[in-house]
């Protein structure tokens, strides 16, 4: 007994499943791109016309409007800051301290942070600013 098979080429291709996948990927990337958040403590940085892009550093001290001091994202005090910076400097062998101070922070607090860092052996300091619109 001989069976006959009909192997005809497919005349049409159904794009509906491919379109569904592309739409789901588009929605996924649109939604996830909205959740990119800047890490760290939020402060209003002072403006400067001539500022430069900073390279990332492990030595970032943030001074908030309320007088809070943060080393990275960890809260600290002036008394603890020198010891913590000394430990980080020994481990990371980094030389530059980035200071992110809010606009309203008194200069006295910035000087205390610089003094604590010098006590830990750090000699280079950078004050982070925002690009000022002209």
pLDDT category of residue 1 using cuts at 50, 70 and 90: low
Give me the domains of the chain, ranges plus CATH numbers.
47-131 (3.30.420.270)
**Placement of tokens 């990275």 in the chain:** 72
Alpha-carbon dihedral angle through residues 51, 52, 56, 62, given to the nearest 10 degrees: -10
Q: At what angle do helices 78-92 and 107-119 cross, to 10 degrees?
A: 40
Least confident among 1-5, 27-31, 61-65, 82-86: 1-5
CA 17 → CA 22, 79, 89, 90, distances in Å?
A: 9, 63, 56, 57
Provide the whole-model pTM.
Answer: 0.60
16 pLDDT higher than 80: no
Of 59, 51, 55, 57, nearest to 113 (Cα)?
59
Of 84, 127, 75, nearest to 105 (Cα)?
127
pLDDT of residue 47: 65
Rounded mean pLDDT of 74-96? Answer: 82
52 pLDDT higher than 60: yes
């Amino acid at each position: 007994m001989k069976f006959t098979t009909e192997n005809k080429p497919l005349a049409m291709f159904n794009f509906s499943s491919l379109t569904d996948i592309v739409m789901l990927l588009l929605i996924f990337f649109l939604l996830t791109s909205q959740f990119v958040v800047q890490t760290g403590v939020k402060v209003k940085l002072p403006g400067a016309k001539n500022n430069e892009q900073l390279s990332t550093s492990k030595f970032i001290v943030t001074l908030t409007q309320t007088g809070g001091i943060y080393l990275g994202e960890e809260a600290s005090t002036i008394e603890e800051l020198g010891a913590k910076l000394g430990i980080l400097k020994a481990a990371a062998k980094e030389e530059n301290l980035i200071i992110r101070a809010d606009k309203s922070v008194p200069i006295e607090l910035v000087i205390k942070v610089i003094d604590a860092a010098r006590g830990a052996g750090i000699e280079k300091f950078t004050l982070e600013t925002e690009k000022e619109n002209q």
